[in-house]
Chains A and B, each alone.
Chain A
Amino acid sequence: MNVHPVRFVVTDDLRRSRLTVFFRLLLALPHLIWLTLWTYTMFIVIAFQWLWVIGAGHMEEDIHRYIGRFVRYNVHVNAYFMLLANPWPKANGREGYPIDLELDPAERQNRLTVIFRLILAIPAYVFMVVLHTVLNVIAFLGWFASLALGRMPQGMRDLGAYCLRFETQTYAYILLLTPRYPSLAGSSPPQPAVEQPPVEQPPGI
C-alpha cells in the first residue's frame, strides 16, 4: 500500500488518570485558547503560502515544518481533549505525544489543484464533519468509561484515533502540506526495516 505522507503513530497505553479525566475540559482550556490564537495567525500564513505555492509549485521546507507543527499541535490538543491520550500536551507541537503525527517533507504540487484546493476538499470536509461527530460521541462515552475503569476501552480509542487521523489529513490537504487526498483506509506508519542476517559467503570467493 502506498503510504500516506500524513500518518499517525499511536503509542498510547490506554491508561487514564481519573482525576485529569474528570477535569479534562477545564485542563484543556489553556491549550484550546492557545490553539485558537495560533489558528488566527495561520489564516494569514496560509493565504500567503497559497499564493507562493501557486507561483513556485511547492512549499518551502521551513514553512512546511512550521505549518506541520501547528497541525501536530492540533492533533495533540484534540487527542488530549477527546481522551485519546492521557498526558498534558506541550504547547509547541513537537513530536513525542502518545498520539503523534508523522509528516513527510514538502513535495511538488500540481498548481491547478492548489488553486482549487478548497473546492476539491469539500467531499473530505463533509466526511470530516461526520467523523468529528463520531469523535465527540466517543469522547462523551469515553469520559464515563475512563472514570469507571481508569482506562480507555481500546475500541473507542482506536475509532477516535481513526476519526482524528482523517480530520488531520483533511487539514493537511487544505493547508497545502500535501497534495495527497485524505484517505479513509488505514495509514499505518512505515514498517521498520527488518534486519537481514548476514549472508555467509561460500569459502573461496
Chain B
Amino acid sequence: MTQASATPAVDTHPIRLVNNDDLKRNRLTVFFRLILAIPHFIWLTVWLFVLYVAGFFFWLIALFAGRLPDGIHNFVGRFTRYSTHVYAYSSLLADPFPGFTGAEASYPIDLQIDPPQQQNRLGIFFRFLLAIPAFLLAYILRILMNVLAFAGWFYALFTGRMSEGIESLGTYALRYEAQTFAYAFLLTGKYPSLGGAPTA
C-alpha cells in the first residue's frame, strides 16, 4: 500500500487524496483499459457539461452567500471525486472498475473533501483568473500523467502490477488536478498545493 498524502501541508488541505491501492493489476483489463473506460468518459462528459452550464449560477450563489450551499458542494464534490476515480482507472493508477456515482470510500484512489467553509468574496469573484497558474501546472501534470500511463501500460502488462514510482508520481499529479478543479469550482478557497512531491 502506498500513501500519496504524506506531508502535513497536503494533509491539512481540504481536498485530500487517499491511496489504498495494492499495485496489483489484472493484465486483461489493463490491455483493454481505454475501451473499458469509454462508458465512464461519456458519463463524465455529460456530467461536466451540466456542471459548466450550472457553474455560472453556482458562482453567483457563492458570490452572494460567501460559500457554496451544502447541496451544491456535495454535487460538485461528487463530480470531482468521480473524475478522480475515472482518471485513476484510465491512467492505471488503480485496478477495479469504478462506480458511476463518485461515492466516497468506494475506490482505492479516493478523494476526501471537507465540508464547505466561508470564502473570501473577492477570491470567489476572481476565481477563474486566480486559477490560471494552477491550471497551467495541472495541464503540464496531465501530460506527465498520460506519459506515465503509457509507460505504465507496458509495465503492468509485463509484470501484472504497477510500478511504485509511476504510481506515486501519477497520484501526485492526479491530486493536484483534483485540487485545481476543486478550487476553480469553489469547493474550497485554498489554493492547490504542490506539497507532497516525491522526494528528490
- Chain A residues in contact with chain B, CB under 8 A? 8, 10, 99, 123, 126-127, 130-131, 133-134, 137-138, 141, 153-156, 158-159, 161-162, 164-165, 183-188
Asked whether, in the complex, the Cβ of A159 is within 8 Å of the Cβ of B194, the reply is: yes
Say whether B136 contacts A158, CB under 8 Å: no
Supposing A164-B200, A165-B200 touch, asked if A183 and B195 sit within 8 A by C-beta, the answer is no
> What class of interface size applies to chain B in its complex with A?
20 to 34
B residues 143-173 with Cβ under 8 Å of A? 143-144, 147-148, 151, 163-166, 168-169
**What are 24 A-B contacts defined by CB distance under 8 Å?**
A10-B200, A99-B200, A127-B151, A133-B143, A134-B140, A134-B144, A137-B136, A141-B133, A155-B194, A155-B196, A156-B194, A158-B194, A158-B195, A158-B200, A159-B197, A162-B198, A164-B200, A165-B200, A184-B148, A184-B163, A184-B165, A184-B166, A184-B198, A185-B198
- B residues less than 8 Å from A130 (CB atoms): 143-144, 147
Is the pair A185, B194 in contact by a Cβ cutoff of 8 Å? no
Nearest residue in B to A127 (C-beta to C-beta)? B147
For residue B21, give the distance in angstroms from its CB to the closest CB of chain A: 15
A99 contacts which chain B residues (CB < 8 A)?
A: 200
> Who on chain A is nearest to B195 by CB?
A155
State in angstroms the CA–CA spacing of A185 and B199 once bound together: 8
**Docked complex Cα distance between A134 and B169 (Å):** 12
Q: Which residues on the B side are within 8 Å of A138 (C-beta)? A: 137
**Cα of A125 to Cα of B186 in the assembled complex, Å:** 38
Shortest beta-carbon distance from B28 to chain A in Å: 24
Q: Does more than half of chain B's interface fall in helix, strand or loop, or is it mixed?
A: helix
Q: Cα distance A154–B199 when bound, in Å?
A: 12
Closest B residue to A154 by CB, please name it: B195
Q: B9 within 8 Å of A by Cβ?
A: yes
Q: Which residues of B contact A141 (CB under 8 A)?
A: 133, 136-137
Contacts of B197 in A (CB 8 A): 155, 158-159, 162
- Nearest CB of A to B186, in Å: 22
The 8 closest A-B pairs by CB, nearest first: A155-B194, A184-B165, A186-B199, A161-B200, A185-B165, A159-B197, A158-B197, A8-B200
- Tell whether B141 is near chain A: CB-to-CB under 8 Å: yes
Chain A neighbourhood of B164, CB < 8 A: 185
B193 at the interface (CB under 8 A from A): yes
Q: Which of B174-195 contact A (CB under 8 A)?
A: 193-195
B194's partner among A10, A126, A153 (CB-CB below 8 A) is: A153
Given contacts A127-B147, A158-B199, 5 further A-B contacts (CB under 8 A): A133-B140, A134-B144, A137-B140, A155-B193, A164-B200
Contact A155 B9 (CB under 8 A): yes
A141 to B133, CA, bound (A): 7
Contact A186 to B198, CB < 8 A, known contacts A141-B136, A154-B9, A155-B193: yes
